[in-house]
Amino acid sequence: MASHQDFERSIGDVVARIGQLKELASERGLDVEAELKKLEARLEELRTETLESLTPMERVKIARHQQRPHSLDMMERVFTDFVELHGDRAFRDDPAVVCGWARLDGRSLMVIAQQKGRNTKENLKRNFAMMHPEGYRKALRMMRMAEKYGRPVITIIDTPAAYPGIGAEERGQAEAIARNLLEMSLIEVPILAAVIGEGGSGGALGLSVADRIVMLEYAIYSVISPEGCASILWKENTEEARSKAASALKLTAPDLLFLGVIDEVIGEPPGGAHEDWDATATALKESLTRNLADLDKRSVADLLDGRYAKYRKMGAWDGD
């Protein structure tokens, strides 16, 4: 692990000790197998204990971990034969969203994924995965293309928010997101959304009107960030306020599953997705394949009726 959050310090210490022990054994030819087994067992215990006791704000930090796999990291492990498509045919190509044809276990489909950068240069290129209106129009163009050829759509969600800059507003950011919400509700092919990191506000919702929404265990999905919520409600951005906001927002995968906002929580490997990209991709692929196979059994009318009912029932008040 390249870096550690505060709640990961003890895990990092054990990882460092294991590395030192292996290095010492290599240099001096010592037999450290017994000690290594003890440390590795302790490491697994710490990972389990740490993740089981995470607060909502600590889950936010896991979702934002700098070593967490991004969309392209998952795509290259989950899909084959990816062919990227560009542009909205109106203004420009938005690199914050990557779109194209791919195969999932041989099945041709359209993938639409928000992409963060791994370093400053990449983040500037990808605009920190914050899409402009042309990005949402590009995504909608790809959905319509998939619909034309009768292919399902998979969206991969990982963004802090839609881009709020002046240029984006001038080119119709709110309209572009609203248009996607409307059009996605009517697309006549299966739509499957996967939240793998941050699912922030309308920036995420513009790609999330799906028949099924699955979510990695330590991802988040919320109408606003804890920082934004704390600033609006309490006019402060302290750790205490952010933690209070994160708890109130119910942005964790277990909370969202309980509330019926998402349909499935995908387990992450010990320590989180950033500890094992391959294992995370395997779990994600299994979920996507299984859910898509189930959606394939439905008629167009059933898909549209189910999609309508899914969003109509969210937030219903039962009077209790």
Question: Tens of pLDDT along 147-158?
Answer: 999 999 999 999
What CA–CA distance (Å, rounded) separates 121 from 280? Answer: 26
Asked if 4 and 61 count as a contact pair (C-beta separation under 8 A), the reply is: no
What CA–CA distance (Å, rounded) separates 207 from 22? Answer: 46
pLDDT, one tens digit per residue, over 11-39 is 666 667 777 767 766 776 666 677 777 77
pLDDT the model gives residue 11? 63
pLDDT of residue 312 exceeding 60? yes
- Round the average pLDDT of the chain to a whole number and report it: 91
pLDDT of residue 1 exceeding 50? no
pLDDT of residue 95 exceeding 90? yes
Sequence-distant (6+) residues with CB within 8 A of 10 are 46, 50
pLDDT, one tens digit per residue, over 54-72 is 899 999 999 999 999 999 9
Average of pLDDT values for 112-123?
A: 96
Phi/psi at 110 (5° precision): -105, 130
pLDDT the model gives residue 38? 74
pLDDT the model gives residue 22? 73
pLDDT of residue 294 exceeding 80? yes
Any idea which residue has 């692929």 for tokens? 285
Average of pLDDT values for 275-295?
A: 97
pLDDT of residue 10 exceeding 90? no
pLDDT the model gives residue 270? 81
Q: How, if at all, do strands 80-85 and 97-104 pair?
A: antiparallel
pLDDT the model gives residue 3? 46
Asked if 250 and 259 count as a contact pair (C-beta separation under 8 A), the reply is: yes
Average of pLDDT values for 226-241?
A: 94
pLDDT of residue 98 exceeding 80? yes
pLDDT the model gives residue 2? 41
pLDDT of residue 53 exceeding 80? no
